[in-house]
Structure 1
């Protein structure tokens, strides 16, 4: 259950959001962009960053709608990215690895059926009592 933040903690989070967003925009569009493209930083960046910092300092509640929109965007992008990454891992790593193991006859779960076997139970190993002395 998500408990909504109120009071000082909410204002602090909104203030942090304004500063972090201004810093992130500065790094991406003010440092990396000009460095990679050999162009000066755009004027809009400094205007937006100045506005974000002023709002974060003087009126952090005004950043509330922007923060909620940003979080929704993050949830949507996170859902999309996780599906892409998990699909790539499944079809790019696990499926070829499983196919290769089956082709080589490797059966780590011992799933082969043996009609002559009376039981598939594996007997337990006898352990000394000291193996529980230091579990970690």
Structure 2
């Protein structure tokens, strides 16, 4: 497996997480108050209490970072476990889009035009596929590059 979940973070990571959570929950709470909902969920009259809960969770997480960082471990593990599948799917979709959207058309174009930038084409009449490199400049030239 390429990526492993960090289910046992050290104290430094938990401290950092607490302060980052403060900012993240503050922003999410502000969005809930401003828009009245989040991710298509309309909280209606409950928007303010939900925002207060998010702000409280962020403040509590920051307080735990200062006093007892290990208290942030449950929230950290829950969020890491929750977001791992999302990151897994999104990363694979992005890589597939890059491959099929950029590399495949470029490869097809090169094949259609006959371009072979790596000179991999088999030519049975050639004695060798060795390519001569240009002459190496004198070492004195490195000190005077202009």
Query: TM-score band (shorter)?
Result: 0.7 to 0.9
1:45 to 1:112, Cα distance in 2 relative to 1, 3 A: same
Q: CA deviation at 1:21?
A: 3.1
1:41 to 1:107, Cα distance in 2 relative to 1, 3 A: farther
1:10 to 1:124, Cα distance in 2 relative to 1, 3 A: closer
Q: CA deviation at 1:29?
A: 2.2
Structure possessing the higher relative contact order (Cα contacts under 8 Å, 6 or more residues apart):
2
Query: Does 2:16 match 1:13?
Result: yes
Q: CA deviation at 1:59?
A: 4.4
Give the alignment of 1:39-58 within 5 angstroms. Answer: 42-56=47-61, 58=63
Q: CA deviation at 1:26?
A: 2.5
Give the alignment of 1:14-33 within 5 angstroms. Answer: 14-31=17-34, 33=35
Q: CA deviation at 1:99?
A: 0.5
Give RMSD over aligned pairs.
3.2
| Offset from partner CA, 1:22-54 (integer Å, 9 cap, x none) | 2231243233x35xx9x8881233321342144
Task: Count matched residues.
Answer: 128
CA distance in 1, matches of 2:74, 2:30: 23
1:129 to 1:75, Cα distance in 2 relative to 1, 3 A: farther
Query: Does 2:70 match 1:70?
Result: no
Structure 2, unpaired ranges of 5+: 1-5
Q: CA deviation at 1:57?
A: 5.1
- State the TM-score, normalized to the length of structure 2: 0.68
Query: Does 2:104 match 1:99?
Result: no
